[in-house]
């Protein structure tokens, strides 16, 4: 795939009473996206140690087209629909990578 990487940081606040259900749906969505979408290069989710309801997701897409395609997939739409009442706050931040490396 060609084009400039799209890298985003998502900052989410989850209703604490729904956290386990949210996490289950998030894991399902991340696994499906990485497995089925060539343009989804990585999705990494973490929570703040002192506040597990504060979730951060680093999203890396091959290009803008891959990102736009991701938003239309059945697994992403399922995640968005089923978690809509669980997410109390969502901030999407476009970021520029400085250095990103990982091991399999």
The CATH number assigned to the domain holding 58 equals: 3.30.70.100
Confidence of residue 18 (pLDDT cuts 50, 70, 90): very high
Q: Report yes or no on 99 lying in a domain.
A: no
Check whether 2 has a pLDDT greater than 80.
no
Nearest CA among 29, 93, 37, 91 for reference residue 67:
37
Write out the residue range of the structural domain in which residue 59 sits.
Answer: 6-92
pLDDT tens for 24-82 read 999 999 999 999 999 999 999 999 999 999 999 999 999 999 999 999 999 999 999 99
Q: Report yes or no on 71 lying in a domain.
A: yes
């Amino acid at each position: 795939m060609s084009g400039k990487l799209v890298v985003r940081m998502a900052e989410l606040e989850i209703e604490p009473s729904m956290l386990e259900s949210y996490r289950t749906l998030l894991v399902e969505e991340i696994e499906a996206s990485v497995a089925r979408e060539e343009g989804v290069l990585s999705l990494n989710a973490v929570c703040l140690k002192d506040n597990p309801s504060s979730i951060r997701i680093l999203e890396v897409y091959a290009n803008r087209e891959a990102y736009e395609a991701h938003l239309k997939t059945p697994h992403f739409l399922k995640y968005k629909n089923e978690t809509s009442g669980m997410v109390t706050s969502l901030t999407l931040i476009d970021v520029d990578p400085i250095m990103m490396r990982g091991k399999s």
